[in-house]
Every structure is written in C-alpha cells, then in structure tokens.
C-alpha cells in the first residue's frame, strides 16, 4: 500500500453564512498526480488554504505525511511546494533573486541552494530571463517563475492551484510537461483546475468538487464507468417522422433521443454495435443522412451528469 501523503477528514469551512467546504474528505497517496476538478467557487482554493494551515477551519482533521498539520508545522511545510492561483513574487527582485529567496526559506546550505536555484531556472526554461524583473515578463513567463519559486527546494509534495489560467498554449504545455517530470522525479502532486482536458491528460486520480463537496472520485476510467452515458451518436438527417423517432427510442441501449436543427442525437447506455444498428434502421426506412459521428464520454460529460451543470472555461 502506498503511503498516505494527504488525509483530509470531514473538513468544514464556513465564510460567515456560506459553507465553502461541506464535510469534505480526501486521501492522496505517494506518487500520485491528483486532480481536484471543479468550477469556480467549488472550494478548491479553500481546500488548499486549509491544507496548508493558512486558513482556519470549523471542523475536520488534516494530516500531511502522516502528521497533524498545524500553522507551526515547519518540518511539514519544508517538504511542500506551493504554487498559488495568484502569482506571488517580489517585484523588486529579479527572476533569479526571487527563486533564490523562496529556496532559501528551506535550504540553508549555500552551495546546495545555488545548485537548486540553477536547476529550477533550467527546469522552467527561464535561463535567458534570470536578470529580468517580474514586471518585464509575459503572463506565461511569470507563471513559470511562480512555479520555479515553489519547486526550487525540491519538495516531496507539490500543490498547484490553477497554474494554467490565462496562459498561452506554449507555456501551458511546458507547465503540464513539467508537472509530469516532477512526478517522475518522485514528487506527489495536487493539481487543481477547471479544465477537463488538462486533468484528463496528467492526473492519475481525480476528485470532482461541487459546492464544497466531493461528488465523484476515481481514475478517469472509473469516473466514466460510473456514468449512464457510454456513447452518443449524432447524425445529420433530412426528414424524420415522429413515428421513426419513436422507433429509434426503442432500439437496444438507447435512453435518450433528440432532434434539433436537423441533428439527431442518440444517447446510449452500454451495448455494442450501436452505430451499426442505427444505420441499419435508417437504411431500412430510407432516411437520408449526412455526417455521422459517435462520441465517447469525456470528463466534461462526467461533470455534466454528476452535477447537471456544464463546466466552462
């Protein structure tokens, strides 16, 4: 059994009347890239702030590396690297000085510190910008600096809160690849996002949050398995009668049929050869059709099914 890195039990956090975290529990194990996925306001940042003891909470227990986390747990904190949602660097320090400052909070040995800072600079690809001040950096480069500051001291647990928001595609890819590389080098990662594709791409397990609760948890395959919808077939059609729609509704494994703007959408729960069966029926009935596509559910569909809401960028 892999070691527990983070254990959150029954966490409740209120901001006056608002319940931001509602008996939220979660356990994350060594070696994972764990995705915390949820729309804005679902409680991701609040969870992280509670985890780090930056925020007091009303109820619940938090353990990190098997020890109770408190505001004065310096030893635990030195093993954590945090990249906050809002970039937090010093404007009056250069890129190099910023990374050196944050690394120096935990690494006291001078030679090791210099080596760590150089490695962090290289890791995020800021070699040409070490003498720049943050104000001179583009949004993407600033994000990379923020990341370098968080990881320079080689933490065992790295927490990134929406690190790719408002970042150009090139920097975004670099960030995602970087996270996977850090994980390969042995770090456990917690990654929050409201982008489906990212979480799907890099996370070993995913918790879906909504209104301070965990509404689904598992690998992306497990989450998709929990869904009713397994396949959606869309066909561009000319004329379809009500009676024919009724027939389609009665085909095996179909649970929903809609016709809108000449697009027939058929949703399936399980079954094989669904496409073939539908095409056969359309040919028998002489229904003329244009393009046909069959789609498997994405995490976006998972979210929609669990919450009834669409996830948006």
Binding site for ligand ADP (CB under 6 A): 15, 18, 20, 38, 40-46
Q: From the CB of 84, what's the least distance to ligand ADP, in Å?
A: 11
Q: From the CB of 53, what's the least distance to Mg ion, in Å?
A: 18
Q: CA-CA distance, 60 to 13, in Å (whole number)? A: 9
Q: From the CB of 189, what's the least distance to ligand ADP, in Å?
A: 17
Q: What angle do CA 199, 200, 202 make, to 5 degrees?
A: 65
Nearer to Mg ion, 45 or 146 (CB): 45
Q: CA-CA distance, 162 to 301, in Å (whole number)? A: 21
Strand ranges of the sheet holding 33-37, from the earlier edge strand across to the other edge: 80-83, 157-161, 188-193, 33-37, 205-210, 213-218
Q: Of 84, 83, 64, which Cα lies nearest the Cα of 75?
A: 64
| Tokens matching residue 256 | 């929903």
Residues 6+ apart with CB under 8 A from 254: 248, 266, 267, 268, 274
Nearer to ligand ADP, 5 or 20 (CB): 20
List, in sequence order, every beta strand (DSSP E) within 169-250: 188-193, 205-210, 213-218, 231-237
Nearer to ligand ADP, 56 or 261 (CB): 56
From the CA atom positions of the chain, what is the Rg in Å? 24
**Binder of residue 187, out of ligand ADP, Mg ion, none (CB less than 5 to 8 A by kind):** none
Nearer to ligand ADP, 82 or 248 (CB): 82
Evaluate whether 78 touches 153 at the Cβ level (below 8 Å): yes
Q: From the CB of 141, what's the least distance to ligand ADP, in Å?
A: 24
Q: From the CB of 212, what's the least distance to Mg ion, in Å?
A: 12
Q: Looking up tokens 């937090």, which residue turns up?
A: 88
**Binder of residue 258, out of ligand ADP, Mg ion, none (CB less than 5 to 8 A by kind):** none
Chain residues in the site for Mg ion (CB under 5 A)? 44-45, 85
Nearer to ligand ADP, 43 or 150 (CB): 43
**Binder of residue 297, out of ligand ADP, Mg ion, none (CB less than 5 to 8 A by kind):** none
Q: From the CB of 159, what's the least distance to ligand ADP, in Å?
A: 12
Nearer to ligand ADP, 203 or 266 (CB): 203
**Binder of residue 229, out of Mg ion, ligand ADP, none (CB less than 5 to 8 A by kind):** none
């Amino acid at each position: 059994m892999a070691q527990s890195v983070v254990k959150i039990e029954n966490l409740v956090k209120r901001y006056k009347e608002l319940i931001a975290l509602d008996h939220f529990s979660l356990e994350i194990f060594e070696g994972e890239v764990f995705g915390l996925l949820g729309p804005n306001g679902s409680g991701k940042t609040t969870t992280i702030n509670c985890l780090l003891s930056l925020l007091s909470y009303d109820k619940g227990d938090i353990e990190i590396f098997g020890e109770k986390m408190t505001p004065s747990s310096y030893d635990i904190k030195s093993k954590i690297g945090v990249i906050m949602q809002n970039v937090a660097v010093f404007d009056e320090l250069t890129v190099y000085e910023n990374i050196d400052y944050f690394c120096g909070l935990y690494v006291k040995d001078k030679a090791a510190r210099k080596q760590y800072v150089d490695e962090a600079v290289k890791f995020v690809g800021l070699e040409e910008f070490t003498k720049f001040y943050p104000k001179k950096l583009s949004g993407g480069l600033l994000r990379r600096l923020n990341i370098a500051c968080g990881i320079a001291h080689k933490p065992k647990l790295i927490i990134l809160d929406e690190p790719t928001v408002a970042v150009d595609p090139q920097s975004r890819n670099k960030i995602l690849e970087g996270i996977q590389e850090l994980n390969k080098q042995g770090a456990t990662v917690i990654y929050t996002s409201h982008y489906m594709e990212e979480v799907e791409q890099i996370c070993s397990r995913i918790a879906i949050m909504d209104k301070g609760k965990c509404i689904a948890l598992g690998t992306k395959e497990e989450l998709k398995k929990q869904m009713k919808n397994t396949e959606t077939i869309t066909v561009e059609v000319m004329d379809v009668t009500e009676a024919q729609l009724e027939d389609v509704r009665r085909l095996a494994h179909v649970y929903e049929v809609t016709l809108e703007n000449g697009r027939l959408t058929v949703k399936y729960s399980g079954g094989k050869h669904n496409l073939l069966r539908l095409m056969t029926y359309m040919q028998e009935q002489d229904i003329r059709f244009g393009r046909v596509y069959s789609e498997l559910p994405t995490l976006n569909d998972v979210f929609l099914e669990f919450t009834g809401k669409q996830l948006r960028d």
